């Protein structure tokens, strides 16, 4: 199962590392990652991952929701096929 994880919020040390650790802890493999710090310190990241065990999806989502609160950022997890369908013109 491929997923797209987006993160938006104020830049701070460790965002990429902590999100990556949650992904790895749930048997996820990072396929692609793009991140940028925009003017005013706004951090944005889009991460495409492959989740080796689809049974881990709910746990991954729950752990990222907890991390979202800890980091005070917005984290969204979507299945890649749904993400692509939503952004098709």
Beta-bridged to residue 29, according to DSSP, are: 50
Average pLDDT of the segment spanning 16-35 = 97
Averaged pLDDT score across all residues of the chain: 93
Q: Is a pLDDT exceeding 90 seen at residue 12? A: yes
Among the listed residues 57, 72, 63, the one whose alpha carbon sits nearest the alpha carbon of residue 19: 63
Whether the full predicted model's pTM is greater than 0.95, yes or no, is no
Which tens digits make up the pLDDT trace of 38-76? 999 999 999 999 998 889 999 999 999 999 999 999 999
Fold (topology level) of 2-82? Alpha-Beta Plaits (3.30.70)
Q: What is the pLDDT of residue 80?
A: 77
Q: What is the pLDDT of residue 85?
A: 73
């Amino acid at each position: 199962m491929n997923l797209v994880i987006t993160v938006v919020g104020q830049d701070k040390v460790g965002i990429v590392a902590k999100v990556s650790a949650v992904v790895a802890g749930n048997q996820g493999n990072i396929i692609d990652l793009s991140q940028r710090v925009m003017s005013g310190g706004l951090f944005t990241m889009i991460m495409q991952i492959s989740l080796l065990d689809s049974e881990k999806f709910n746990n991954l989502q729950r752990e990222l929701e907890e991390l979202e609160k800890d980091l005070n950022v917005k984290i969204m997890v979507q299945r890649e096929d749904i993400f692509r369908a939503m952004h098709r013109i």
